[in-house]
Amino acid sequence: MAGAAPGRVVIVGAGHGGVQMAASLRQEGYAGEVVLVSGEPDLPYQRPPLSKAYLKTGNETALPLRPGSFFEKNAIDLRLDTRAEAIDRASGEVRTSRGRIGYDHLVLATGARNLRPPVPGLDNAHGLRTLADARQMREALSETRRCVVIGGGFIGLEFAAVARALGHPVTVVEAASRPMSRSVSAAISDRFVDLHRGMGTVIELDMPASAVEADAVILGDGRNLPADFVLLAAGVEADVDLAREAGLDCENGIRTDALLRTSDPAISALGDCASFPDPRTGRHVRSECVQAATDHARTIARRLSGGAGDAYAAVPWFWSDQAEYKLQIAGLAYPSDDSVETPDGAVYRFDGQTLTAVETINDAKTHIRFRKLMGETAVPDRETLLSGAWELAST
């Protein structure tokens, strides 16, 4: 759309990435129409607090990403409680539950949805993706409940920490040999196991759930865990239904190029639903974090507003708050990357000689320093980092 007369940009999905997309278009001077379509009735809100602060306090006033006046002031046509049902690429329209919306460019920010493993009885379990889910959960936890969490990822462990702090008995059931195994090193996993067990949470590792009943979870070894409340937190998958049904290339997400363009140049994708080239390796990856979604949005907005159209190359970063531990990760490591624990408790991840990520707990200074370092052109190699020579040179 660069160089063309302003048209209408339609954004499907009003999470962090979708709202940032609309805001960034205006910040970049885009003068065309901007339509933001949300399937939920509430003003667009922050999702990370749903499994943490909101469960504790129930305070919804801090959740909205922007006040309603922001959308009016910036001429962003926010359409709440409007489900996108299909994309008609030939006519350049999105069919919604409230009628058709034409687009000159379409941005898919459809996010992710909970994985549902082939476990009988999952209708007896709760999910946590939306504010409506969190409201229901707070109501359920208003009295003491025996909680079982299926899945030891970020969401499951964040919920477990809050539930224990509120006095509920909690058991976490994880099919893998350690929690958060896709996201962090073994050393960090071990520290969080110690944290949760120290809080009184039961952690069952190498133990799948084989069934969920009305008042129990049946484990793979046949044991019966009494449960008044079951949270399904077994991971997520990209929400690609709209894209796939429209004939866009999808593979572990909506496949894009480095500019976040899909196989249809009139459609872009961002955030959890986008499978994009890792700036370091070129491998297509998905990044399930708020920062990637917002950085994607800024990249697309610059391109649609006639800017430089630079490829997405931001350093991803992640965080998780669990009880008194704040986990922060700068960079993107693969499970096969090496891990080296430093004397100060940080964990460096390496692909050969290349630093891929740094994991820290309650150490914002180190996290910020490495986020900045990894965004620079010349990052010290493994030998330099581990020898301490870089630390000496940077002080």
Question: How confident is the model at residue 135, as a pLDDT?
Answer: 96
Nearest to 13 by CA among 89, 112, 105: 112
**How far is it, in rounded angstroms, from Cα 289 to Cα 318?**
6
pLDDT higher than 60, residue 317: yes
Query: How large is the C-alpha radius of gyration of the chain?
Result: 22
pLDDT band for 1, please (50, 70, 90 cuts).
very low
User: Judging by DSSP bridges, how do beta strands 33-37 and 8-12 pair with one another?
Assistant: parallel
- What DSSP string describes 104-165? SEEEE---EEE---S-TTGGGSB--SSHHHHHHHHHHTTS---EEEE--SHHHHHHHHHHHH
pTM of the predicted model as reported, rounded to 2 decimal places: 0.94
| Geometric angle at alpha carbon 153, from 143 and 44, rounded to 5° | 70
- pLDDT tens for each residue of 120-171: 999 999 999 999 999 999 999 999 999 999 999 999 999 999 999 999 999 9
Question: How confident is the model at residue 394, as a pLDDT?
Answer: 60
Question: How confident is the model at residue 322, as a pLDDT?
Answer: 97
Question: Tell me, what DSSP letter sits at residue 66?
Answer: S
21 with 10: CB under 8 angstroms?
no
pLDDT higher than 60, residue 3: no
Q: What is the mean pLDDT of the chain?
A: 94
Lowest-pLDDT range, 271-275, 326-330, 332-336? Answer: 332-336
| Geometric angle at alpha carbon 390, from 389 and 395, rounded to 5° | 105
- pLDDT tens for each residue of 285-304: 999 999 999 999 999 999 99
Q: Which domains are present in the chain? A: 8-113+237-304 (3.50.50.60), 116-234 (3.50.50.60), 332-394 (no CATH)
Task: Pinpoint the alpha helices (H) of the chain.
Answer: 16-27, 53-57, 68-73, 131-140, 154-165, 186-198, 241-245, 290-304, 364-374, 382-387, 389-394
243 with 262: CB under 8 angstroms?
yes
- pLDDT tens for each residue of 6-61: 699 999 999 999 999 999 999 999 999 999 999 999 999 999 999 999 999 999 99
Six token digits for residue 103: 């687009």
pLDDT higher than 80, residue 5: no
**How far is it, in rounded angstroms, from Cα 157 to Cα 218?**
20
Strand-pairing partners, residue 220, are none
**How far is it, in rounded angstroms, from Cα 46 to Cα 62?**
9
